[in-house]
């Protein structure tokens, strides 16, 4: 329990921003409570590797309590947040009593946005959580398994058509990884599926891939992903997604596996605070990351609508969240010393995106990398930022083995193995009608 004689800092969310804030307050004379609805911190940039059987969930996640175990002024609370009372300064929780705070840091991240077409979600899963990634992995692997024994050519073609919607870093990484999985890693394990049986289609509404990168790197990305065997459709306007596939530019693409990587919306923090938000649901904050200039609250990461020094909106990426979390911690420590922190200033250390095996792009402003050199840098950066020594060693070994052998050993299909198909229902009804034989 917090010491009533010391200020209490409540951090909602244990993502990159929340953990950075918690660690930044390690030496502060405060008590800290970290609240999260899950017990683990997730390295989201590598979720697509779980979704494509390159890594196991435990490779990219660590228990929050374990990460913060050495920090004596922190307690971790597993619970959901349902609201915030700004006047009384407490957080409304699902299973515990309201939690009072002196400072509140909101780092609740983002979720999928289907731009008003929420009916598409059951047919086009995004990847924001481990549950999402393992479900996408199941969908991909089950499609391959069913295609192996499907006699109808049209149904088999639909099973072997994988559509990714969104040409940003997540969409590009997913398309490259699925192409490698379907064409290289598993083709030798099947008897009726060859290296060129699968069709991978990447749909991008804009006129180029990776729009946040320079045009030169976007062009190299397009070339590299096409060499992997993926089809890229630019200026693709998706108008419908259902159980049979995707409709883009008035053309139906039959597919049983559609993956959403086109957009996100912020958490419900703006509703909790009853404050202004942008079109993506992000809380509008000041230059010191305060909503409505409330000095007791910081909103950071994907939840905050924050601009850089040139008035450009900061992207929802891990480096932004980490720097904002560190800033919130420094601002609280400055206040404890009777000072006020300078406005937040983001330092852009570059953007990275991988395209597939030994291909990546890196943008550092005037300095750019692509190809194998970019891929080595991408691997090094992602291994370095993983939480925990075991995770780094494990992922490094897995990637090295996969690079040498093309193998993806996390190809596990989990979940219900009795799909609700007509044949299954008929068999169940027949078995119920059979007479019981007494012993």
Contact indicator for 51, 174 with CB cutoff of 8 Å = yes
Assign 3-class secondary structure to 255-283. CCEEEECCCEEECCHHHHHCCCECCCCCE
- Catalytic residue numbers? 173
Tell me how far apart the alpha carbons of residues 342 and 325 are, in angstroms, rounded to a whole number.
14
Angle of helix 389-405 versus helix 371-385 axis, rounded to 10: 150
CA distance 26 to 21: 9
* Helical ranges in 186-249 per DSSP H: 215-227
Contact between 62 and 41 under an 8 Å Cβ cutoff? The reply is: yes
Contact (CB, 8 A) for 413 and 138: yes
Is residue 17 within 8 Å of 301, Cβ to Cβ?
Answer: yes
Q: Which of 161, 286, 180 is nearest to 224 (CA)?
A: 180
Between CA 12 and CA 67 the distance in angstroms is 16
Question: What does the DSSP 8-state code read for residue 183?
Answer: I
Q: Decide: 43 and 61 in contact? Cβ < 8 Å.
A: yes
Q: How far is CA 261 from CA 73, 80, 169, 184, 361, in A?
A: 38, 26, 9, 23, 19
Structure tokens at 250: 């008035």
Inter-residue contact 195 to 184 (CB < 8 Å): yes
Residues with Cβ < 8 Å from 164, sequence gap 6 or more? 171, 174, 175, 178, 200, 201, 202, 203, 258, 259, 261
Gap between the Cα atoms of 414 and 138, Å rounded: 7
- 96, two tokens: 């515990």
SS3 228: coil
DSSP element (H, E) containing 138: helix 130-149
């Amino acid at each position: 329990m917090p010491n009533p004689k010391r200020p209490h800092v409540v951090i909602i969310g244990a993502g990159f921003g929340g953990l950075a804030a918690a660690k930044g307050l390690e030496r502060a004379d405060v008590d800290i409570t970290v609240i999260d609805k899950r017990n683990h911190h997730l390295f989201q940039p590598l979720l697509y590797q779980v979704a494509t059987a390159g890594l196991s969930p435990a490779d990219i996640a660590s228990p929050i309590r374990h990460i913060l175990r050495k920090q004596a002024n922190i307690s971790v609370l597993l619970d959901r947040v349902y609201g915030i009372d700004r006047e009384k300064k407490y957080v409304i929780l699902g299973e515990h009593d309201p939690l009072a705070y002196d400072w509140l840091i909101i780092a609740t991240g983002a979720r999928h946005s289907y731009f008003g077409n929420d009916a598409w979600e059951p047919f086009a899963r995004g990847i924001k959580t481990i549950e999402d990634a393992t479900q996408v992995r199941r969908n991909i692997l089950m499609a391959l398994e069913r295609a192996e024994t499907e006699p109808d050519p049209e149904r088999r073609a639909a099973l072997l058509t994988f559509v990714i919607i969104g040409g940003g870093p997540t969409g590009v990484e997913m398309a490259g990884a699925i192409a490698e999985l379907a064409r290289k890693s598993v083709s030798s394990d099947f008897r009726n599926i060859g290296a060129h049986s699968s069709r991978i289609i990447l749909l991008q509404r804009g006129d180029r891939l990776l729009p946040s990168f320079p045009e030169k790197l976007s062009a190299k990305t397009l070339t590299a992903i096409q060499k992997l065997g993926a089809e890229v459709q630019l200026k693709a306007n998706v108008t419908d997604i259902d159980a049979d596939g995707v409709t883009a530019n008035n053309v139906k693409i039959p597919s049983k596996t559609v993956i959403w990587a086109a957009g996100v919306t912020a958490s419900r923090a703006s509703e909790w605070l009853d404050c202004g938000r942008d079109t993506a649901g992000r809380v509008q904050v000041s230059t010191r990351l305060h909503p409505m200039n409330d000095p007791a609250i910081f909103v950071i990461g994907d939840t905050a609508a924050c601009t850089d020094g040139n008035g450009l909106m900061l992207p929802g990426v891990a480096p932004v969240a980490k720097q904002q979390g560190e800033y919130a911690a420094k601002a609280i420590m400055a206040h404890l010393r009777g000072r006020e922190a300078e406005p937040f200033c983001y330092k852009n250390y570059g953007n990275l995106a991988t395209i597939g095996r030994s291909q990546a792009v890196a943008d550092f402003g005037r300095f750019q990398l692509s190809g194998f050199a970019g891929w080595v840098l991408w691997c090094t950066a992602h291994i370095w930022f993983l939480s925990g020594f075991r995770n780094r060693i494990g992922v490094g070994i897995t990637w090295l083995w996969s690079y040498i052998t093309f193998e993806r050993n996390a190809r596990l299909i989990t979940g219900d193995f009795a799909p609700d198909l007509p044949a299954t229902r008929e068999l169940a009804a027949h078995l119920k009608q059979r007479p019981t034989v007494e012993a």
